Amino acid sequence: MRPGDREAMSSLGIEVAIGARVDALAGPSEVLVSQTVKDLVVGSGLVFEDRGVEALKAWRMTGTCTLLSATPERSPDRSRRRMVRETKGTPMTPDPDRMLDFARRYTAAWCSQEPASVAAHYAPEGSLTINDGAPSVGRAAITEAARSFMTAFPDMQVLMDDLILEDPRIEYHWTLVGTNTGPGGTGNRVRISGFEEWTISEDVEIAASLGHYDQAEYNRQVAHGVDG
């Protein structure tokens, strides 16, 4: 499955051709989707499992596509905590739609290779703490923390996997994909997932973010690659 452009028939034909190839790769009763489809249905209650990157051809176009297997969320508890939902009959604060838009812009900032754009989503005295390390406090320090990742992974892309809103807890779940080709890099491909626990200010800026990911697995992938 890939989203098509209904206004351009040539584009639609390409999307249909690629969609057919994706469908042919699916196993019995399996639903395969592209990363683009996953990004468009965040909060739908679907669970995605990475199926790797495939080379796909459509007419004269050749490229690669990250494929994921989609299944319904089985846990009723978790689906109640999905974004743009209400808990205990009370609307979320801040507004769920506004938070979803904020999270999407934050994701784009991490993909921009402009570290100051990440820091701009934090309150002036906001803080970012990664894996219980020393916090980066203030936008200048957060800019440098973001820069360290962008420098290590010049092709870095961050994907928003989920946004969980359950008053007063907000969790932003992400996957980082990139190649460690920065100064002193190993040249290895990395794909690591994690999440941030957010405290949001009244101005809808991040007052504090506690980031978590598997540091040992990250170090392994940097040294040996995601499949090493």
Question: Which alpha helices (H) appear in 111-171, and where do they start and end?
Answer: 115-119, 139-152
Q: Are residues 130 and 21 in the same domain?
A: no
The pLDDT tens digits of the residues spanning 141-194 come to: 999 999 999 999 999 999 999 999 987 789 999 999 999 999 999 999 999 999
The number of domains in the chain is 2
The CATH number that applies at residue 46 is 3.30.70.1230
The CATH number that applies at residue 156 is 3.10.450.50
Q: Rounded distance, CA 119 to CA 144, Å?
A: 9
Mean pLDDT of 112-140: 97
Nearest to 87 by CA among 160, 169, 171, 162: 169
The pTM (predicted TM-score) of the whole model is: 0.64
> Token match 């009763």: residue?
29
CA distances from 18 to 38, 118, 196 (A): 16, 34, 34
Mean pLDDT of the chain: 81
Q: What is the pLDDT of residue 15?
A: 61
Q: Are residues 49 and 115 in the same domain?
A: no
The pLDDT tens digits of the residues spanning 12-28 come to: 555 656 666 677 667 76
Q: Are residues 174 and 110 in the same domain?
A: yes
Q: Are residues 97 and 42 in the same domain?
A: no
Q: Residue 177 pairs with which residues in a beta bridge? A: 157, 191
